Amino acid sequence: MAGVEKLSIALTHEMADEVRAAVDSGDYASSSEVIREALRDWRRKRALQDQEIRELRGLWHEGLESGEGRYESLDEIKQAARKRQAENAQ
């Protein structure tokens, strides 16, 4: 495999057993394949988290730019939510 760099990693006994079991079961040809897949999954998870954070920031700014809110206090927000919940329960 061209462009490969060997790294030494430390795993807990439980994690190392899981990696070995994945190889022993035939699901993977080597421990390296297990770790590479785990890293690919980690990258996808991080990318999704980054996307969600960007979306939340956008919604936050959209809310700030929309002007003053309808409610004066947190108690009013709770009261309105309880009222909606009661109406939806009927």
User: Along the 90 residues of the chain, how does pLDDT read in single tens digits?
Assistant: 678 899 999 999 999 999 999 999 999 999 999 999 999 999 999 999 999 999 999 999 999 999 988 899 999 999 999 999 999 988
Whether residue 30 lies inside any domain: the answer is: yes
The predicted structure's pLDDT at residue 53 = 98
Whether residue 4 lies inside any domain: the answer is: no
Q: How many domains does the chain have?
A: 1
Whether residue 34 lies inside any domain: the answer is: yes
Task: For residue 83, give both structure tokens.
Answer: 């009222």
Whether residue 3 lies inside any domain: the answer is: no
- In 3-state terms, the chain is what percent helix, strand and coil (to 5)? 70, 0, 30
Q: Considering the entire predicted model, what is its pTM?
A: 0.67
Question: Domain range holding 58?
Answer: 13-89
Residues 6+ apart with CB under 8 A from 80: 71
Whether residue 82 lies inside any domain: the answer is: yes
Whether residue 56 lies inside any domain: the answer is: yes
Whether residue 6 lies inside any domain: the answer is: no
Whether residue 62 lies inside any domain: the answer is: yes
Name the amino acid, one letter, at 81. A
